[in-house]
Structures are given as C-alpha cells and as structure tokens.
Structure 1
C-alpha cells in the first residue's frame, strides 16, 4: 500500500500522521469498489472461505463494513456509491433481519454509518428509498440477539431510527433492552464478559464499549455518557498495556482477523474526552497497530484485507468468518471523526507503556497479569481467568504475547497424562507480580497454577491433585518464534523434557520461564533463584532485586514479598 512519506518530527515512533490514516482509508475503499455487485448492494470479495451464513450474507457484510469505513472517512463520492447500493439492497437484494441472523450484525454497521453521515447520505435519499430502508432496519428492533455483544446491535439500530423519528417507542425499547442486558456482564474496572461466563477479549473494546459510548455521544445523553464513559476510561488504563513496542496487539481471543479494529477504543476515548491517555500516546498506540499490520502483509496485492493476522491465516478464523469479515477493521478509522486540528493529530507521539518501563500489571476483573519489558517491547499476558472453550486455544492457554501464536503442540500448558485440556477455570486472585487460578485437567485432575513475574522472567508453579500416583505430567512454555528466545528450565518435580510424575497426594511442579527479544540477556539460571523448603514454601529471589515467598496448596495460594 502506497502511503505518504513518514513524518518523524511529529510522529517519532511510527512516522504516521493523519495523512497516513486518510491515505490508508482511501486505498482500502478504492480496492473494494470493483467487487460491488447487484447495483452496489453486495460486495463479493474473492476467497474460498465462506461463512456459515452463506454467500448472500457475506455480500451484505462486505457492503456494511466498507460503508462504515466510508462513513468515518466522510468520503462523499464513496458515500454516493453506497447510497445507490442501499437503494438496491432494500429493494429486495438484502436478506431479511431475523432472530440471531448475521444481517442483524450488519444492520448495526449500516445504521451507525447512516447516523454519522446523515446530511451526506440519508438526507439525500429519495423518500421511497428511505421508507424501504427503515422497513428493513426496523426488523432489528424486535430481532432476538445472541446473548453476547450482539445485544448491542438492536441498540445501535434503535439509536438511528429513534433519531429520525421512526417507531420511536419500539426503538427506545430496543435501546433500553440491550443496555440492560450488558449490565449483567459488566464486572467492574472497565471490563465486560462477552456474555455469560468469563470470556474476556478484544470484544471489550470494539463492541462492548464502542456501541454504548458512541450511542450516548451521538444522542448527547450526558447520563449515559457519564456511565459508559467512566467505564471506557477505566478500561483504557489497562488496555494501553496490551500493545507491544512494535505496535502488535496481543494474540489472544477470537475474531483476530479484525486486526487494527483493536485501536477503536483508543480513538473513542479521544473522541469523547474519556481517556486517561495523552493525545500523543493515543496516536502512537493506534498508528503503531495500523503500521504493524500494513507492514506485514495484512493487505494483499489487490489492496484487499485478507482473512488472517499478518497475511492469510486460517488458524485465527471462526465459522462466522467470511471474505468480508476483516473489514470490521474499519472501526480503526473512528479517529478520522476528530478534526485535523485536534491535538490527538497534532501532538507529538509519546511512548506507550511497553516502551516506557518494565511493567508487571495485575488486572483484577479478568484475573490477568500483564508483563512487558522495555528493552524488547514484548508484552505477555498471563491468563488466569478468561475462558471460552469453543475457541480453544485462543482462550485456554496459560499465557499469550504480542509476538507468539498458540501452537498446535500446546505451548503454555500443563499436560496431565496425555490430556492438555484446561477447563472450568477458577480465578484465585492477582496481586503485585502474581496471578493464580485453578482448572480442571485430564483424568479428573485439578491443577492450581501460580505465576510470579519480574522483568522478563516468570516462575510458574502447578499443583496437581486428584490423580493416581505415577501419573505423568508435562509442563510447556512459550512457542518458539524467529528473533525471540523462548526458554524454560525445570526447578521442582520436573526432569528432562520438562516431565515428571505425581506422587502420593498433591504434587508440585515448578519451572522458570522466559520469553525475550534481548540477544544479550543474562543466563536464565542467573536471573532468578528458586528453592522449595521442607514446609512447602517457594522462595524466589530476582537476581538481587527483591524476593517473594509463595505457597501453593489445596487451599489456594499465598504470596508475600520479602526483603
């Protein structure tokens, strides 16, 4: 993708300015235009991976998600094409919005785009087209949503329809119903689960926060903006720590093919004034993520976003992923709603958290521990609370990072017998430099896990209970990746191959682990000292920079810092 020359004065970290974002949006839009069919109502992109909703729904997805990009860009020429497509779509091309159907998702993108560009698109449509359009969108008001972030799609449609005076009572009820539903999943500290259970991932940012905050902002509803803005601000204080020094987001959760949609909540905080981040930090993180993907093949030679992470990669896809799915990355261009003179565009870039210092940060709601190192910009997530077994391995591993991907050979796992499963995760708490959980494993085992982190080093302890003596146990660390060292050393209960066997009663297995991009890092055995005393207490000393005592037993964990 051809972009303007980098500006290393105002953007010393990425070189990207507003002009780069505008150019990226323009080139993405231009590349999609040849794939418009049925009068522009559908965008049928090439590819063999069709979603489970079918090709017609995939074509609607292509229209809706690229329309969202045109709306953020406020490109009147492009919006004219989408006006023609809207007229064709609501005249019988688009599938109806039904209960739990993919068109409900796309209706939200269409409604949001129409709301954002009302003078440029909606107000210029013929009365007949508007009448048919509200009739099509209106089905979203009563459609049953899947019990997750989908509850916000009727809210988004309802916000637009209420604004233009269509079925205002039904629209208001749809808004209230959806907002009430997500209250069940708000767990505090700026974090939601994506429906029942403990599903924590990027849907917090590009869905659970995005839609309520945008609705409140567009409706100029100070009460709602106070509630949802407070939550967004709290979330961003954690969220900023999830980007590596190279701009990479963490490789965890589902729908990763949306790529730089991860930047949407950053821009949303700046747009609404509800962010703890400085303007320069906001732009540095957002531009870093956009540049990360554009530099690594996210866009193919035809200018289209591919289904994958860097380039094409089926490992990150779900059954609902179709050729147009990656275009939810359009949400990243929310920042273009801010005028060129806004300080988020004019302030010099400032470093993100992973570039400022070594950080070990606990996040209470998902029971996560974030570990980042300034020297290499790597961010590691220790997962002791997020679970969605439908999408294993992107939820069930013990750790994720900005440079590794979950491996088929079960990285970051405890393998009991020959079963690497990790289900029924029970958070046991997080604290200063530690996180712990308990989970079910093979053969009826329960595994209590504790991670202690300092710098780039981790001490991982796993207590295995509920299995016969002599049951084999194997512990794994980080998957290897070019340019980064993944190391693991056995300490307690483990021998060659990081394997051991259970004894009578509960059995403890401890390893020292490190993932580092430092070529000259000190030997791992010198970076930390670990011993287990006769009373079952682990003594950990971090290379002369502090020490920790920890106990892992059937009652849980107990961690104390010592001098």
Structure 2
C-alpha cells in the first residue's frame, strides 16, 4: 500500500483517485511547520530560510515573509502550540524589528497574510495577547491602510488588513475607507464570467484564484456580509466552473503565468468555494482536485531533504522565479491548506472522490474572458491551454506563447510560437473569439507584421493556422510546436500548407506578395500508441480564399476563414 506524508497509508476506498484524506493534509501541514521552525530567530520574529536572498526586498523583508507566510499555514491548521510561537514573534516583530509598511513595499504583502491569520484565529492568538502587544501590532498593520499598493492584486492587501483592523475597532473610519477603496479598484478589472485581469491589460493566470477571488470572498465571509458574499461568491462560483478544468489527471496545475513557485496555492479557490458554499463542484470533486495537486508536488520533490519548500516547480527551478522571489516566497503555498478550516465531518472530507469532467471524456472547453480554449483528453489526462487572449506587459514566455499544458514548460527556444522574420514577439493580442473546438486572435509583431491565428482542436489533435499580413514578400516565417523536455509526452508537428519541415526548430515558410496563410498539424499526447496524426483529420486549404476545411475522423466538419483581424468558423456534426 502506498503512503503519503508522514507515512500515512493511502485510502483508495474514500479517495480512489489520489488516496489522500484530511489526515494527509494535516500531516503535510505539520511537517512544513516543523521544518521551518529551526530557521526562526531567537525572538521568533523572522524566519531566515536557507538560500540566496536575491529578492528585491532584501534579507530583513525576506525574514518577515518567512514569518507571515508560515503563520498563515499555522492559522489554517489551527495549531495552538505553533500559534503560541508566532505570538512571541508578533510581540518582538512589532517592537521595532519588522520593517515599516511603505508604499509599494513587500511588507504590505506580508501584512495581509498576518492580518488574515489574526482574523481567522482571533480567539486562539489575538485575544490572548497583552494589550501592549495588541496596540503595537495594530499600529504596525495600520500603515497598510494608507500605503499605496501596486495597481494589481496588491489593491486587496489593504482590504485584508482593513477587515481585521475594523473587526478589532482600530481606526474604523480609516479601515473602512481602505476596504472600500480596494474593492472599488478591482471592479475596473472584472471582465465577467468569474474572471479578473491582474491590473490593466490582459494578464490572466492563477492570481485570479489565489488573490483576486480569495481576499474579497474571505473578507465577505469573515464579515458575515451576505451582500458582498453573494457578489464575490457568485463570481467565485462562475470562475470555478472554468478553473477546475486547469488541472491534469495527475493533479498538475496548468504551467502558465507567474509565481508558479507557489505550487499548490492553486487549490485555495477550490477550498474557498466549499467553505463558503459558492461552488459548482461536488465535495468529492473538490477534494479530488485539491488532493491531486498536493500529491503531485509532494511526489515530485517540491520539498527538499530538510522538509522545506524549494524555489521552483518540482524541485529547484530558477525559470519559474521572479525578481521578488526570496527563500520564503514558496510558502504562499500555505493558501492551499485553506481546506483545513472545514471541519473533519464536512462532506468535502467525507465524500468519495469524484473524477474530473475530462476523466470521463475528451473535452474542448472555451473560456470567453481570457479567450482561452482548454483541450483535455481522457486517455492521458493531459490538459492543453490555447492562449489567444492573455499576455503580460513584457514579452513573457509564461504569458505570450500560443499554448501551455499541464506537462510541458515554455522553452527558451520559443516553443508554441509563430516567428515572422527574426521577430518572436507576440504582444498587443486582440482576441477574435472562442467556441466549441476553436479559438482565434491577432497580434502585431515589433516589425509591424500582423498575424491572425486560429486553432481548431479535437481529441489531442490541433490544426494551427496563421495569416501573415503587412510583411515584405519573402519574409521568413517559422512555426514551432510543443517542447516536451523530460515530460514523457510525445509532440508532433506536420506541415500542411505554406510550410516545410525543418529540424527541431519547427516548420518554415516565406511570405508571398500578398497576405499568406500557413497551416500546420500538431499534437501533444502521452498515449503510448496514438493513431497516426494524418489519420485524425483531413485538411483542405482553398487557395485565394484563405479558407480551411477540416474533416475530423469522428465525422465533425469545420469550415474556417481567416481574414486580416477576423475569423469565421462554422461546424457541422454528422447526422445533424
């Protein structure tokens, strides 16, 4: 019989997909808390975890980060002995050790974690503190009420601090103003159907779940404000209908976006939906996804030989880090233990695990606001995200590639890209629509060429089509596919129209005097013996009309037309 954290046997009757139960989550939390304790300073105000302090904020702020993010874990665990240690640290930290909370400073982030933990555990921690400590702590946190956040999910940190301070009666007018201001600001980024952008632009990723939904919903729930809970909880429920599909059959979250070193923090919105009753997911479905993600990372070296979370994805991996990443940054993974707020007899812990939707059948799921198409296959558990609407202000490979998956990582050689001339840039993405089995967009390269992109998908197979406009005749075009690395998956890329096979660098072609259409056939699969790619679909490209006809082996026919900045798609099903 397999075992999980602390050698606890897996329970394949209650949890047929992961074997994990609440006991495994408790053991994982206890192990993480025990592992960081030796790295606390003598007064317990700072946790100096090993590793290079290369973050923007410096060693002192990194030590505060270690305190705040592991305190959050102790709060979700309701570990009274651990909370006593953190109470000592709170007393010392607010006596002049912790850096002040200033405009756009890292301590503002950590203040939110501390305030949330104090609010969640008020009878166990805050109410047991001396008056002097409470006064100093409130004053230290109070700077967050007027500190200017970065214009993104940071707007919610003063909201979280303000919610706690308002509860304890500290500067109630200022606290309420901080709450209202932050909640008002995120409204400009809500784009409907449960999705936010993370600030201006079109940055869509896990920050939707572990920040943009987490903080407002928890605030409304803790404040017992039904109006706010209906508003933000309704958005969360809508979001989870899409979000639940971002996890692979092996538990892996989608490898896209920034701050991926937070790992199983991706499970926080799943538990939040169950905690507040705002979720479309069944209790067994919620636990299957949550436990799947935790198990995925614990089984793949996310925790080192000292029991510490490393800076990386599986093990250490600098590719997924940002400039703000310090040794304690991975401990935002503590958010993933939010489910421990649910009592042991809650049905999310007692129900039998249920399969993901894509475990039952292949699925092509369109997501409107970010203009994404999720392509899932039941045979291998892979999920592929076709990105035709998310980007960062920089050319960031974790935002701007054409596709991502739960088993591959963006490569330094521009996987999943269309490169015009020597220009790989893909910014200023204009969504052109998404529907059943298709998604499209347009972008303009730095050289001024316009690229209209279309993906048609069925099963594990993709038709990738591009119309290149405003490029000089004879301009080289390169189309690349999936970079599988050490994933064990198999990638294929075949030229269909306007392209020739190249080496491992992809497919190549050149532009004509007028707009030029390029079409390729691609597949990413973990099936050991897939049907030959060419037998999956019959493709016809009509010269002079920019039309593509696809007849899938299952009988579905798709007719698409690529214009410069516009795509039309029509689908016919057999017998309809």
TM-score by length of 2: 0.97
- Aligned equivalent of 1:151, options 155, 158, 161: 155
Aligned position for 1:558: 568
Match of 1:127 among 118, 128, 131: 131
Classify the secondary structure of the residue corresponding to 2:400: coil
Question: Which deviates further from its counterpart, 520-529 or 268-277?
Answer: 520-529
| Counterpart for residue 67 of structure 2 | 63
C-alpha change, 1:261 and 1:391, in structure 2 (3 Å) is farther
Residue 124 of structure 1: how far off its partner (Å):
0.4
Q: 485, 504, 516: which is aligned to 1:507?
A: 516
Where do residues 96-111 of structure 1 align in structure 2 (5 Å cutoff)?
96-111=100-115
What secondary structure is seen at the aligned counterpart in 2 of 1:40? coil
Match of 1:374 in 2: 378
Match of residue 487, structure 1, among 486, 492, 495: 492
Matched length: 563
Residue equivalent to 2:501: 496
Deviations 1:396-439 (A, max 9, x none): 00000000000001000001111111111111111111110001
Q: Of the candidates 161, 166, 171, which is equivalent to residue 170 of structure 2?
A: 166
- Cα shift at 1:49: 4.5
Match of 1:530 among 529, 539, 547: 539
Cα offset, 1:391, TM superposition: 6.2
Distance 1:472 1:309, change over 3 A: same
Q: Which moved more, 1:459-468 or 1:389-398?
A: 389-398
Tell me how far apart the structure 2 counterparts of residues 352 and 283 of structure 1 sit (CA, whole Å). Answer: 11
How far does residue 235 in structure 1 lie from its aligned partner after superposition? 0.1
Answering whether residue 263 of structure 2 is matched by residue 259 of structure 1, we say: yes
State which of 536, 539, 542 in structure 1 corresponds to 2:549.
Answer: 539
Conserved 8 A contact 2:395-2:426: no
Residues 243-258 of structure 1 mapped to structure 2, 5 A cutoff:
243-258=247-262
Partner-residue secondary structure (3-state), 1:374: coil
**Structure 1 residues 235-250: aligned runs within 5 Å:** 235-250=239-254
Deviations 1:62-90 (A, max 9, x none): 00000000000000000000000000000
Partner of 1:203: 207
Distance in 2, matches of 1:223 and 1:357, equals 38
1:78 paired residue among 79, 82, 85: 82
Residue 223 of structure 1: CA displacement?
0.3
> How far apart, in 2, do the equivalents of 1:101 and 1:562 lie?
55
1:299 is the counterpart of 2:303: yes
1:102-147 per-residue CA deviation (whole Å, 9 max, x = no partner) reads: 0000000000000000000000000110010001000000110000
Runs of 4+ off more than 6 Å: none
Q: Is the 8 A contact 1:107 1:153 kept in 2?
A: yes
Q: Distance in 1 between matches of 2:36 and 2:565?
A: 57
- Map Cα deviations across residues 311-370 of structure 1 (whole Å, 9 max, x no partner): 000000000000000000000000000000000000000001231210001000000000
1:474 aligns with 2:474: no
SS in 1 for 2:55: coil
Can you give the 5+ residue segments of structure 2 that lack an aligned partner in the other structure?
A: none
CA distance in 2, matches of 1:496, 1:366: 32
CA contact (8 A) 2:517 2:546 kept: no
User: CA–CA distance in 1 between the matches of 2:399 and 2:196?
Assistant: 15
CA distance in 2, matches of 1:537, 1:182: 41
Unaligned ranges ≥5, structure 1: none
1:480-505 CA-to-partner distances (Å, cap 9, x unmatched) read 23421100100010012110000011
Other structure's SS at 1:39 match: coil
Find the residue that maps to 1:37 and give its secondary structure: coil
Conserved in 1, the CA contact under 8 Å of 2:53 and 2:62? no
Please state whether the residue corresponding to 2:52 is helix, strand or coil.
coil
Match of 1:335 in 2: 339
Q: How is 1:335-414 mapped onto 2 (pairs within 5 angstroms)?
A: 335-390=339-394, 392-414=396-418
Alpha carbons 1:38, 1:88 under 8 Å: kept: no
CA contact (8 A) 1:37 1:44 kept: yes
Q: How far is the alpha carbon of 1:38 from its aligned partner?
A: 4.9
2:230 is aligned to 226
* Cα distance in 1 for residues equivalent to 2:171 and 2:122: 18
Contact 1:389–1:396 (8 Å) recurs in 2: no
Provide the C-alpha distance between the structure 2 equivalents of 1:4 and 1:301, rounded to a whole number of angstroms: 18
Structure 1 residue 444 displacement after superposition: 1.2
Contact 1:60 1:103 in 2 (8 A): yes
Is the 2:395–2:427 contact (alpha carbons within 8 Å) kept by the matching residues of 1?
Answer: no
- Asked if the contact 1:440/1:447 (under 8 Å) is kept, the reply is yes
Q: Which moved more, 1:338-347 or 1:517-526?
A: 517-526
Question: Aligned with 1:137: secondary structure?
Answer: helix
Q: Secondary structure at the match of 1:381?
A: strand
Higher deviation after alignment, 441-450 or 505-514:
441-450
- Aligned-partner Cα distance in 2 for 1:373–1:562: 21
Aligned to 2:452: 448
Q: CA deviation at 1:520?
A: 1.3
> Match for residue 433 of structure 1?
437
Work out the CA distance in 2 between the residues paired with 1:180 and 1:544.
49
CA distance in 1, matches of 2:533, 2:268: 38
Offset of 1:544 from its aligned partner? 3.7
TM-score (structure 1 length as normaliser): 0.99
- Residues in 2 aligned to 1:533 and 1:145: alpha-carbon distance in whole angstroms: 53
Cα distance in 1 for partners of 2:480, 2:53 equals: 33
In 2, Cα distance between equivalents of 1:157 and 1:104: 9
